[in-house]
C-alpha cells in the first residue's frame, strides 16, 4: 500500500515537496489554512487589478527549469516568461541607474558613474558566476545534515570567501556609493545586512546581472498555479481553509494531524509552515528548539506593504524600482541592530502593469510598495498611514509624479498580517537570514530529531529564503524521505 503523507501549508516549498513525493508513489494530502494556495506568494485581485502579494522578482530561471524538468515539463508548459529590460531602476537623491538586460549595457552605466569600473565589474561577475556554479552544484542541493557536505575541492579553495563579507569585497574596487548600493542590493534577498553576508554570496550578483530579471505574464502567481496543476496531475489532494491544529505523535512517531478537530492519519508529516509555528503544534517535549533559541536567531526583515490601484498610467517608472535615496546604513541599523520604525526608509515600488497589460485595467497602473522593517515591531493603522505618507511624498519628489492624487484604492499588509495569515514568527516576511552562522547545516534541520517521520521544508530551513530556495527545499526534504524509506524497506 502507498505510504500516506500529510503536508502542512501550500507555499512554494510545500507544493514542491508534494510533487516530488507524489511522483514517487506517495499518497499526498496537503492542508492550507488560508482560502487560497501559495502562502506568501498569494495573489490579491480587486477591481480588475492583480497584485502578487509577496515575491515579484523572478530570478534564477534555471532553478525553475530544473524543477519542472524533474517532471518532464517546462516552465512554458504553465506560464509565459518575459525578460525585463531594464531589469530595474534605482533612484538616488539626485539621479538614477537603469540596470539593463546585458552585461554590455550594465558596464556602460558603471562607466558613467565610475570611469574604469567596467573592467572590475566584468572580473567581479566572472567570479560570481563561478560561485553560482559551485553554489548550485555543491551547496544548495545538499540537505544540510553535516558540515562535510560542503567540503569539495571547489569549496575548499574558496573557504576564505566565507569569512569575508560581500560588503568588503564590493568596496575593494567600487568607490562610487551608488555602484556599491547596486552591487549590495541582491544579497538583501538573503535577509541579512551585506556587512554580515559572506562574500561567497556574490553568486546573487551573477543571478542579477548574468541571468537577468524575468516576469511571468500574469504575475508570479502563475508559477504557483502551474505547480498546483502539476501537483494535482500527480494525484496530490489539496484542501484550503484547513488549518492544522496539532501534529499527532504516538510512541515518538508522527502519525498524522488534526484539522477542524478531526484526526487525519498518515505515515509521515512534512511541514512547509514556518518552523517555529510547526513546532508549536507539538507537545512541548517534542519540540527541538526553545523560545530562547528562536529569539537569538537573525530573522530576515518583515515588511510594510501597500497594494495600490491607480486610475492612470504612472510616468517615469519601470516595472521594478528601488528608492535608495536615503542612507541604507541607518535603515539597516533600524532593522537589525536597534529594531524600530525606520527614520528614513528605503523602499521598493513594483508596477507590473508597466510591462504586463494583464495586471491592471487599460489606462491604469497596479502599484506594490514595500518598506523592509524589523520583525516584531508594533504594527498599528497609524504607523501604516504615516509611512504611506512618507513614501508617497518621496515618490512625488523623486519621480515628479503625484501618484497619490490618482489612487483608486489601497490595501496594506504588515507584521500583524504576517502573524495572523501565515503564523510567521514575529511577523517575518522572508524567514531566517542566511548569515554565516545560519547557513546549511547550521540552520534548523529538514528532519525532526525528536519525532520520527516528522519533516520540515521552506524558507526557515535549508537552503534559505526566496522562491528558488523554497523550490529546492521541497526537493531536499523529499529526497531525504525517499532515501530513509528505502533504508527502512
Ligand atoms: C513581501 C515579500 C516579498 C518577497 N519577494 C521575493 C522576491 O521578489 N523573489 C523571491 O524569490 N522571493 C521573495 N520573497 C520570499 C519568498 O516569497 C518566500 O521565501 C517563499 O515564498 C516562501 O515559501 P515557503 O513555502 O517557505 O513558505 P510560505 O509561502 O510562507 O508557505 C507556508 C504556508 O503554510 C501555511 N500555514 C501556516 N500555518 C499553517 C497551519 N497551521 N496549517 C496549515 N497551513 C499553515 C501558510 O498559510 C502558508 O501558506 C518575498 C517574500 C515576501 C513576504
Task: Give the chain's length.
Answer: 489
Q: How many A from CA of 266 to the centre of ligand 1?
A: 24
Supply the pLDDT for residue 487. 56
C-beta of 12 in contact with ligand 1 (< 6 A): yes
pTM: 0.97
- Nearest atom within ligand 1 for CA of residue 40: 29
C-beta of 33 in contact with ligand 1 (< 6 A): yes
- Nearest atom within ligand 1 for CA of residue 10: 49
- Ligand 1 atom 47, closest CA: 422
Mean pLDDT, contiguous 10-residue spans, the chain (489 residues): 93 98 98 98 98 98 98 98 98 95 97 97 97 92 88 84 91 95 92 90 96 98 98 98 98 98 98 98 98 94 97 97 94 94 97 97 98 97 98 97 97 98 97 89 96 97 95 98 75
- Nearest atom within ligand 1 for CA of residue 277: 38
**How far, in whole angstroms, is CA 46 from its chain's centroid?**
24
Cα distances from 353 to residues 242, 364, 424, in angstroms, run 33, 8, 30
C-beta of 247 in contact with ligand 1 (< 6 A): no
Supply the pLDDT for residue 191. 85
Supply the pLDDT for residue 19. 98
Q: How many A from CA of 423 to the centre of ligand 1?
A: 10
Amino acid at each position: 500500500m502507498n505510504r500516506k503523507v500529510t503536508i502542512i501549508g501550500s507555499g512554494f516549498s510545500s507544493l514542491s515537496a508534494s510533487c516530488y513525493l507524489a511522483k514517487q508513489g506517495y499518497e499526498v494530502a496537503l492542508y492550507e489554512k488560508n482560502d487560497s494556495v501559495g502562502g506568501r506568494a498569494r495573489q490579491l485581485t480587486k477591481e480588475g487589478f492583480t497584485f502578487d502579494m509577496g515575491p515579484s522578482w523572478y530570478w534564477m530561471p534555471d532553478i525553475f527549469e530544473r524543477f519542472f524538468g524533474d517532471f518532464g515539463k517546462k516552465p512554458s508548459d504553465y506560464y509565459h516568461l518575459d525578460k525585463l529590460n531594464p531589469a530595474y531602476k534605482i533612484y538616488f537623491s539626485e539621479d538614477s541607474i537603469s540596470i539593463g538586460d546585458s552585461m554590455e549595457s550594465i558596464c556602460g552605466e558603471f562607466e558613467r558613474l565610475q570611469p574604469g569600473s567596467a573592467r572590475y565589474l566584468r572580473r567581479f561577475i566572472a567570479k560570481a558566476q563561478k560561485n553560482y556554479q559551485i553554489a548550485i552544484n555543491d551547496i544548495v542541493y545538499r540537505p544540510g545534515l553535516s558540515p562535510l557536505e560542503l567540503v569539495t575541492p571547489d569549496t575548499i579553495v574558496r573557504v576564505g570567501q566565507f569569512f569575508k563579507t560581500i560588503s568588503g569585497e564590493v568596496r575593494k574596487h567600487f568607490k562610487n556609493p551608488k555602484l556599491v548600493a547596486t552591487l549590495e542590493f541582491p544579497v538583501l534577498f538573503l535577509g541579512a545586512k551585506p556587512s554580515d553576508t559572506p562574500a561567497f554570496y556574490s553568486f546573487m550578483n551573477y543571478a542579477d546581472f548574468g541571468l537577468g530579471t524575468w516576469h511571468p505574464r500574469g504575475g508570479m502567481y502563475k508559477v504557483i498555479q502551474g505547480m498546483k496543476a502539476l501537483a494535482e496531475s500527480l494525484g496530490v489532494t489539496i484542501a484550503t481553509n484547513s488549518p492544522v491544529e496539532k501534529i499527532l505523535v504516538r510512541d515518538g512517531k508522527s502519525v498524522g494531524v488534526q484539522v477542524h478537530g478531526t484526526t487525519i492519519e498518515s505515515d509521515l508529516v512534512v511541514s512547509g509552515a514556518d518552523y517555529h509555528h510547526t513546532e508549536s503544534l507539538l507537545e512541548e517535549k517534542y519540540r527541538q528548539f526553545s523560545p530562547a533559541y528562536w529569539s537569538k536567531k537573525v530573522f530576515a526583515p518583515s515588511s510594510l506593504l501597500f497594494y495600490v490601484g491607480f486610475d492612470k498610467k504612472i510616468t517615469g517608472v519601470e516595472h521594478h524600482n528601488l528608492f535608495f535615496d536615503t542612507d541604507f546604513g541607518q535603515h539597516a541599523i533600524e532593522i537589525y541592530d536597534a529594531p524600530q520604525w525606520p527614520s528614513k526608509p528605503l523602499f521598493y515600488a513594483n508596477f507590473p502593469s508597466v510591462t504586463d497589460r494583464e495586471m491592471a485595467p487599460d489606462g491604469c497602473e497596479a502599484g506594490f510598495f514595500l518598506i523592509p522593517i524589523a520583525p516584531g515591531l508594533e504594527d498599528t493603522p497609524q504607523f501604516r498611514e504615516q509611512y504611506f505618507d512618507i513614501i508617497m511624498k518621496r515618490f512625488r519628489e523623486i519621480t515628479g509624479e503625484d501618484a497619490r492624487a490618482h489612487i483608486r484604492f489601497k490595501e496594506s499588509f504588515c507584521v500583524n498580517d504576517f502573524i495572523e495569515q501565515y503564523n510567521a514568527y514575529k511577523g517575518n516576511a522572508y524567514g531566517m537570514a542566511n548569515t554565516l552562522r545560519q547557513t546549511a547545516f547550521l540552520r534548523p534541520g529538514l528532519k525532526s530529531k525528536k519525532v520520527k517521520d516528522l519533516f520540515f521544508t521552506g524558507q526557515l530551513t535549508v537552503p534559505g529564503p526566496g522562491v528558488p530556495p523554497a523550490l529546492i527545499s521541497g526537493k531536499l526534504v523529499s529526497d531525504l524521505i525517499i532515501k530513509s524509506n528505502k533504508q527502512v524497506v
